[in-house]
Structure 1
């Protein structure tokens, strides 16, 4: 066995590779958790849009009171859900990109430990930093979306209060 082959086998058998790859693995796990959570949130948006569709159908069929007001609220709520879905899609894209960069960083660490040199040691760091930037961008999008969702919730609460007030007014007229 040549000296170079022996050094390569020792480098590959070393725990140094595995320990170096742990940090990107933790970041991959964090991004995966955010992907799972964000996918669930996107699913809830889809459910809400379906519920708005059912409500719209009921209004158009004349099954619900205050049709004009309901139509206006539904129109606004659908637009809000459209914006939220776009934000979620962008966040998911950023999270998947971050995950890809973290995986690439992990692989680059392994290759650099086994075959690289000091001159190539910056590559895994650059890949991990790129992944971190995409993770940051996804987090910022998710933060904005959660604030935007508060707009949806507040408008829904205001409409419920409006319907309650109208009901009280109508009940007062009949007594």
Structure 2
């Protein structure tokens, strides 16, 4: 016959595995929130430069200001999504910890935890899944802003390449004269 204490410990470890996964997601999500916040600060600083008299003289300054203005609402949305994901992850961890406590406490008093532990575990897993979905949406927003910046950088590169090509042609013409 199986040791009842061992089966209680086994039941308590199952939510702990999900707790570990949720904790890992929390750490990476916290990093994502920090990166989004840093990006807002970078764009704000760059915008301040672009609206200065010197910044207005930069190549494609108007286009870059427009790009920044399009990105700020996306970054605000990203931070809201990340905050929602973090809330769901904290809730998931709390529910899963409560599941483990309920299982352990039930074993100590000689009672089964009944459906309450299963319900808490399901709610915790559902909260974890919801957070993962939110993070997938946030990833798409992040990718979209990165693609927009790449397009701008390509345009800027073409602008400067055109300037250099014109210089090369003038230098070549001067050498032939």
TM-score range, shorter chain: 0.7 to 0.9
Look up the SS of the partner of 2:28 in the other structure.
Answer: helix
Out of 12, 18, 25, the residue aligned to residue 16 of structure 2 is 25
Q: Who is 1:112 aligned against?
A: 106
Out of 35, 48, 57, the residue aligned to residue 44 of structure 1 is 35
- Stretches of structure 1 lacking an aligned partner (at least 5 in a row): 1-10
Q: 1: distance between equivalents of 2:47 and 2:21?
A: 39
Q: Who is 2:147 aligned against?
A: 154
Q: What is the CA-CA distance between 1:56 and the residue it aligns to?
A: 0.7
Q: What is the CA-CA distance between 1:172 and the residue it aligns to?
A: 4.6
Q: What is the CA-CA distance between 1:19 and the residue it aligns to?
A: 2.6
Look up the SS of the partner of 2:53 in the other structure.
Answer: coil
CA shift digits 1:111-146 (9 cap, x unpaired): 22233645x511101100000000000001111111
Look up the SS of the partner of 2:69 in the other structure.
Answer: helix
- Stretches of structure 2 lacking an aligned partner (at least 5 in a row): 171-177
Aligned residue pairs total 162
Q: 1: distance between equivalents of 2:146 and 2:67?
A: 12
Please report the TM-score for the alignment, with normalisation by the length of structure 1: 0.85
Q: What is the CA-CA distance between 1:79 and the residue it aligns to?
A: 1.6
CA shift digits 1:3-45 (9 cap, x unpaired): xxxxxxxx8xx34433321111111111011000000011111
Please report the TM-score for the alignment, with normalisation by the length of structure 2: 0.84
Q: 2: distance between equivalents of 1:80 and 1:170?
A: 33
